[in-house]
Structure 1
Amino acid sequence: MKSNDKFTGKAEVYAKYRPSYPPEYIEYLISEAILKEDSIIADIGSGTGIFSNQLLERGYSVIGVEPNDDMRTVAEQNLMTDSRFISIKGTAENTTLNDNSIDLVTVAQAFHWFDMELFKLECQRILKQDGRVALVWNSRDGSSDINKESAEVCQKYCPNFKGFSGGIEETPIAFQQFFKDGKYDLNYFRNDLQFNLSGFLGRYLSASYSPKKTDEEYHPFITALSNLFEKYSNHGQIVIPNITRSYLGKV
């Protein structure tokens, strides 16, 4: 299955249960990327528009580039009432955007799906002279027991599981090869997530590796996750330790 197709059929649950990014990160990005009122942001691999929406809320013009039809349709339904949002069917390696037209490229929860070298070339083409690229993930805090045990559940019942965020914590991408002269700013922002049972299950079912209802692993997967929720929840709520990781630099 191509990476573009991995979220087909998951758009609704993705939009409903995937978390946004902390306000502190948005403030940091606006400041460090030196954004102005008329800055144009290209959100590549924009999915259902979770991160695009946060940028729109701050008044910026955002071009969402997303190859998956299901994900892009949900983003359009949610965001097209904002005239500053433009939706494009394109890939990270071929955005179809104009040369030297973008002030900031953002990639939220998607860089691990890209061809890094081809995406780098595309960023160099579409960015203005001083434009930057921001890569960001919401990552589970691997030191917590709940996240360790949920990873074991995913390993057991999800044949395509290679680690959270495509295994990027376990096999770090060579960011030094991506950013210009190997230089980038790495920052962490606390972003713990609170869910009820349906939200907890929904968060896992939104993952590319999670089984679908027609898969034999689906019901055992749900049962194992429900048992985890029962073990760690308090008054019907569970807190998942989560960290927002940010990489920002020129390419």
Structure 2
Amino acid sequence: MPTFAHSTQRFSDRVADYVKFRPTYPREVVAFLRDGCGLDQGARVADIGAGTGISSKLFLDEGHPVVAVEPNDAMRASADAWLRPYDGYSSVAGTAEATTLDDASVDLVIAAQAFHWFDPVNARREFARILKPRGLVMLMWNSRLLEGSPFLSGYEALLQRYGTDYQAVAERYGDDASMAAWFGDAFVHKGHFPNAQLLDFDGLRGRLMSSSYAPKAGHPNHEPMLVALRELFDRTAHDGMVEFTYQTRVYVGHATA
């Protein structure tokens, strides 16, 4: 598996696009945890690699206190500015392997769109330390569909052609087999939920530029990529919009040290 130096800083110069253009997660995820996995209402949540707070907000809106653990200063500051009005919100500068949280202090650990940046062995040990007995871990990804429409297949081809380390990043995303292996006998449930964004061209451009593998201005692939994106949009948009379609994949279990 490839290594990614300074992975905690990969999004420092993409915060504004991340805040505006990244998708949220379906509310059904929280219902799935409560109804299918036994999560109590009001259970305390640690959102590991919380980023700009998109996943934290999902649980705050459902009445759960959340501590956002995020090592990137710019992303954590964005989350703080957005979520400060929630009484149950707090944040710390920490990593998946060293959260700074107390032993047995949370009921649920979540990682949304972040687990593939963690050291899996040391993260599992840290999750086991901060969770209360029989506490749960939920790992979640919004997985973009790679085909199913001319836009989706065209967008995938664009990333393959112009992305910097796109393929290497994509290969790190958890799938059913790798998640079952990580949880082992502590694997409890998995769930899949439909999710989508409707984007105009500015939204599509921002969504692309929120990705760590999209070349920034000054890179030789940047301008050709944007030209190709415009051509793709003009060819596939309906009523000035394209549908960015996802499957939200959720894996739930317990952490063992």
Q: Output the TM-score relative to the length of structure 1.
A: 0.93
Partner of 2:181: 177
Gaps of 5+ in 1: none
Partner of 1:162: 167
Deviation at 1:173, TM superposition (A): 6.6
Q: How does 1:54-93 map to 2 (within 5 A)?
A: 54-93=58-97
User: In the alignment, is residue 134 of structure 1 matched against residue 138 of structure 2?
Assistant: yes
Question: How many pairs are equivalent?
Answer: 250
Provide, for residues 31-85 of structure 1, a one-character-per-residue CA deviation record: whole Å limited to 9, x for no partner.
3343334411000000000010111111110000001111111001101122211
Provide, for residues 173-220 of structure 1, a one-character-per-residue CA deviation record: whole Å limited to 9, x for no partner.
722232141623221101122111111111111001111123222111
Partner of 1:197: 201
- Asked if the contact 1:180–1:250 (Cα under 8 Å) also holds between the matched residues in 2, the reply is no
Q: How does 1:207-222 map to 2 (within 5 A)?
A: 207-222=211-226
Secondary structure of the residue aligned to 2:249 is strand
Secondary structure of the residue aligned to 1:240 is strand
- Asked if the contact 1:105–1:134 (Cα under 8 Å) also holds between the matched residues in 2, the reply is yes
Distance 1:7 1:96, change over 3 A: same
- Asked if the contact 2:46–2:110 (Cα under 8 Å) also holds between the matched residues in 1, the reply is yes
CA distance in 2, matches of 1:217, 1:139: 24
CA distance in 2, matches of 1:137, 1:155: 20
Letter in 2 for 1:160: D
User: In the alignment, is residue 10 of structure 1 matched against residue 20 of structure 2?
Assistant: no
Letter in 1 for 2:153: K
Moved more, 216-225 or 42-51: 216-225
Distance 1:113 1:153, change over 3 A: same
Deviation at 1:239, TM superposition (A): 0.9
Out of 236, 242, 246, which is 2:240 matched to? 236
Q: How does 1:140-159 map to 2 (within 5 A)?
A: 140-144=144-148, 145-159=150-164
CA distance in 2, matches of 1:219, 1:30: 46
- Aligned-pair identity in percent equals 36
Distance 1:105 1:170, change over 3 A: closer
Letter in 1 for 2:36: E
Secondary structure of the residue aligned to 2:166 is coil
User: In the alignment, is residue 123 of structure 1 matched against residue 127 of structure 2?
Assistant: yes
Letter in 2 for 1:17: F
- Asked if the contact 1:33–1:104 (Cα under 8 Å) also holds between the matched residues in 2, the reply is no
- Asked if the contact 2:146–2:156 (Cα under 8 Å) also holds between the matched residues in 1, the reply is no
CA distance in 2, matches of 1:170, 1:119: 15
Out of 50, 53, 59, which is 2:57 matched to? 53
Deviation at 1:30, TM superposition (A): 3.0
Q: Output the TM-score relative to the length of structure 2.
A: 0.91
Gaps of 5+ in 2: none
